[in-house]
Amino acid sequence: MDMHDRPTGGEHSKLASLARLIREVDSAPDMETALRVVVERTRVLMAVDACSIYFTEHERRRHVVVATAGLAPTVVGQVQFGFGKGLIGRVAESALPINLEHVPEAPHQEFVRQSGSGPFHGFLGVPITHRGEVLGVLVVRQRVVRRFDDADTAILTTLAVQLGGAIAYARASGDLCGLCRPDGAERGWIEGLPGAPGIAMGTGVVVFSSTDLAAVPNRKPEDPRMEEQHLRQAVTRVQEEIRQLSADLDGTLSAADRALFDAYALILDSPEIVEATVARIHQENWAPGALRQTIEGYTRHFDAMEDPYLRERGADIRGLGNRILAHLRGGSGTTGDDPSSIILIGHQLNAIDLGLAPRDRVRGLISAEGSSLSHLSILARALGIPAVVGIGRIPLEHLDGQEVVVDGNRGWVYPRPNPTLRQEIERLIREEWGLESDLKTLRDLPAKTLDGMEVFLHTNAGLIADVPLMMAVGSAGIGLFRSELLFMRYDRFPSEQEQMKVYRQMLEAVAPLPVNLRTLDVGGDKPLPYLPLVERNPMLGWRGIRLTLDHPELFLTQLRAALRANVGLGNLRLLLPMVNGVAEVEETLTLIDQAHHQLLEEGIASSRPPVGLMIEVPSAVYQAEELARRVDFFSVGTNDLAQYLLAIDRGNLHVSQRLDPLHPAVLRALWHVVDASRQAGKPVAVCGEMAGDPAGALLLLGLGFRHLSVSAAVLPRVKWAIRSVDFSHMASLARQALTLEKPEAIRRLLEQTLKDAGLDRLGGAVSENGKTVREARAATGTPRYPGSTAKKEQRGHD
Ligand code: PEP
Ligand code: MG
């Protein structure tokens, strides 16, 4: 369909059916059901004679049927095409749809022979892909000659996109083995992005909101009778609520609308909800999981209905389910009896989830959303917890209660590792410990290059709990104190006194070393629970200094708290986030002066601290000269700078893997900032995550940065890298990097530099069956989209 063509009546109803089909696939309890739903419904929707799904087995280099409607059921697991063979092979290899009105005989013979069916003429096949990798093919066939139109291709492609994430998960977890590999031998991994380095193994615990029934995992109940009792109580509470609401609205609502409340009460009384859920509890599911199963089963019928009024009733029932859930649970989805080694899993894990979990038992993190630069990753690195983020739309609930491996170095997750893999992981974890103990010996040694250039390594921190580790690794001070973490721990804005106490503790704990306190930097991917912002484009929205300048009462409170905490110590420095021009700096400096003078008038011996600017938006780069004249120092936030220079939302899983701080444009911006600050005679640091990557740190050193601020967990690695190279060599490396046109070329140059300096130990990753994953991939010849190699290279972990 062309953009200007409006869908016709028939297309409208097709699109409505497609939307319903997608909802059904989404809520399917398992992979087999999802595949069956797709083939059966698509066959009807597109009025075709057969619809089938092929799954690509990379190890066996073939595409094999895993579901069909219209062909004999016996073809499942039997009909198969080797790589490069037949139309299916062509769709997979070209990663493009193939639409044939009349299939020529030659490529078709093999299919007719294997399937035992008569010939088909019309053929439309589309690839099923996930993250640039072809996972299978979705195909419809017609016995007679048929020309499929653009709308047909669009519908099939839409379904294939839907299947991509689900198949990626099923392949990784082995859920497809029963369908296509009778020996069940294929175990895989789920590809995400490296969030925080390190490798961890533990039991998956899925965190879910107490109002999102769809995200509730299945779990074995501790005491089914107790679960049943909780369920009955929760249902009674919801019934009471409904009665109360109906009474409150009496007189306001029409009789018809009030009848709806009666209908809700009846639904809750019906055995379809309560008794069916109780039965599921006694079949070994806890109350929230059993409730989800019941509600899903119930609403599926409504979702499939053509009548929009009846479809709405499905949404009502889901709403009732969420209300019952809210009474069943409170707070996060973690339970008191969590396993001893937890891998915390969530769709959009955040600092609050982490705060609510038992920290001493959390070994790793997995988040569907996010990127290496998102706030969760930064926090995980600060806490030294391996993390994989941005793994995408896959059914994470299935990982609950399963053994899971997190490889934060590579960004991969291994569900249910087999014994060989487990052995390999245990070896790697031991190796990591060995590396850590080697790194400890560096604590009191300076971060000096072989030819004597000294670098000042500071740490990024946000909690007082970060101080012991930063001291243990020999940090030169806190280069970035993320004050928003303090704000996130409250359910309202903390008062001046409350803030003062925390800042004072921090300043005292590290004095005389400096603390660069960044003023409140919320918004974007850093939500405050008590300041919900609904913005169309949060990353370009009300965040950082914009928000605090609009609320001088909040800003002045924070500034006064910081200045009061500094009395008698003098190691405070203020750092301003997200500044985009001269006016914002001037406004802020006025507020700082105001707070300072207020305190002096109150008889408090305040002193005006040095004020620095974070360079993290492109406009600040190009006004660096003017800005440098107004402040005492710069600190470059490469996370946001890369995000805004490349126009890639750092938290958006669809694009975040393209966000590479080694992009030549970022390097040139960094070069410009160093140059401007040198001319102004103002010091410049980097506090973004690029500095915490040993290769990135060496490049920054070569570009002329002498101050780096990194998380305490990675500081020893960065120090080791610096102590292993010559500054003069890094300077020429940076000059060479500035001439390169692609991030991959820059990354290769850096990787080679690390290798030559004997630093390869700094990034070990899990290998499969003794082979490195790269070797395993090369051996299987995984088909990919043209261009996906570049994407992987850019991500730098394949
Ligand atoms: C940055 O943007 O690089 C930075 C250090 O700040 P944050 O990641 O907290 O936004
Ligand atoms: Mg930032």
> Which residue, judged by its Cα, is nearest atom 1 of ligand 1?
637
Which ligand has the minimum distance to the alpha carbon of residue 711? Answer: 1
- At 282-329, the pLDDT tens digits run 988 899 999 998 888 887 777 666 666 666 667 677 778 878 887 887
Q: What residue spans of 249-350 are helical by DSSP H?
A: 255-269, 274-282, 287-303, 308-328
Pocket of ligand 1 (CB under 6 A): 378, 480, 482, 521, 616, 637-640, 687-688
Q: Which two tokens stand for residue 781?
A: 């010849």
Rounded Cα gap, residues 529 and 489, in angstroms? 9
Q: Please report the atom of ligand 1 found closest to the CA of residue 690.
A: 3
- Residues 700/686, Cβ–Cβ less than 8 Å: yes
Cα 688 to averaged position of ligand 1 atoms, centre (Å): 5
Provide the pairing of β-strand 572-576 with 515-518.
parallel
Query: In DSSP terms, which residues pair with 365 in a beta bridge?
Result: 344, 387
Rounded Cα gap, residues 554 and 542, in angstroms? 15
pTM for the model stands at: 0.62
DSSP 497-519: HHHHHHHHHHHHHHTTS-EEEE-
Q: Edge to edge, what strands does the sheet with 80-82 contain?
A: 80-82, 62-69, 50-57, 133-142, 122-130, 98-100
Is 63 among the catalytic positions? no
> Which residue, judged by its Cα, is nearest atom 10 of ligand 1?
640
Radius of gyration of the chain from Cα atoms? 29
Cα 730 to averaged position of ligand 2 atoms, centre (Å): 26
Q: Where in the chain is CATH 1.10.274.10?
A: 213-328
Q: Which residues contact 231 (CB under 8 A, 6 or more apart)?
A: 274, 277, 278, 281, 287, 290, 291, 324, 328
3-class DSSP state of 523: strand
DSSP 630-653: HSSEEEE-HHHHHHHHHT--TT-T
Per-residue pLDDT, 117: 80
Which ligand has the minimum distance to the alpha carbon of residue 379? Answer: 1
Return the CATH class of domain 9-180. Answer: alpha beta
Q: Please report the atom of ligand 1 found closest to the CA of residue 640.
A: 2
Cα 524 to averaged position of ligand 2 atoms, centre (Å): 10
Is 375 among the catalytic positions? yes
* CATH superfamily label, 203-209+337-418: Phosphohistidine domain (3.50.30.10)
Which ligand has the minimum distance to the alpha carbon of residue 709? Answer: 1
* DSSP H or E stretch at residue 65: strand 62-69
| Candidates 63, 130, 230, 375; catalytic one | 375
Rounded Cα gap, residues 293 and 28, in angstroms? 10
Q: Where in the chain is CATH 3.20.20.60?
A: 448-762
Question: Within a 13 Å sphere around the CA of 641, how many CA atoms are in the beta-carbon half?
Answer: 31
| Candidates 230, 687, 707, 797; catalytic one | 687
Query: In DSSP terms, which residues pair with 516 in a beta bridge?
Result: 573
Per-residue pLDDT, 609: 98
Buried b / exposed e along 635-650 (16+ C-beta atoms within 10 A): bbbbbbbbbbbbebbb
Q: Where in the chain is CATH 3.50.30.10?
A: 203-209+337-418
3-class DSSP state of 42: helix
Cα 641 to averaged position of ligand 1 atoms, centre (Å): 8
Q: Phi and psi for 203 in degrees, rounded to 5? A: -100, 130
Closest by alpha carbon to 564, among 496, 483, 611, 485?
496
Return the CATH fold of 213-328. Answer: Enzyme I; Chain A, domain 2 (1.10.274)
3-class DSSP state of 104: coil
Closest by alpha carbon to 377, among 686, 695, 657?
657
Q: How far is CA 373 from CA 376, 379, 597, 637, 639, in A?
A: 8, 10, 38, 11, 6
* CATH superfamily label, 448-762: Phosphoenolpyruvate-binding domains (3.20.20.60)
State how far Cα 355 lies from the chain centre: 18
Rounded Cα gap, residues 124 and 141, in angstroms? 7
3-class DSSP state of 120: coil
Peptide bond into 512 cis (omega under 30): yes
Q: To 5 degrees, how large is the angle CA 64–CA 69–CA 73? A: 65
Rounded Cα gap, residues 369 and 371, in angstroms? 7
Q: How far is CA 354 from CA 119, 234, 313, 350, 488, in A?
A: 57, 27, 36, 6, 12
Q: Where in the chain is CATH 3.30.450.40?
A: 9-180
> Which residue, judged by its Cα, is nearest atom 6 of ligand 1?
637
Pick out the chain residues at pLDDT < 70. Answer: 1-13, 16, 26-29, 106-107, 169-188, 209-211, 245, 248-260, 303-313, 315, 330-338, 351-352, 355, 393-395, 653, 761, 763-798
Q: Give, as one character, the DSSP assignment of residue 693.
A: S
Q: Which two tokens stand for residue 94?
A: 């070209």
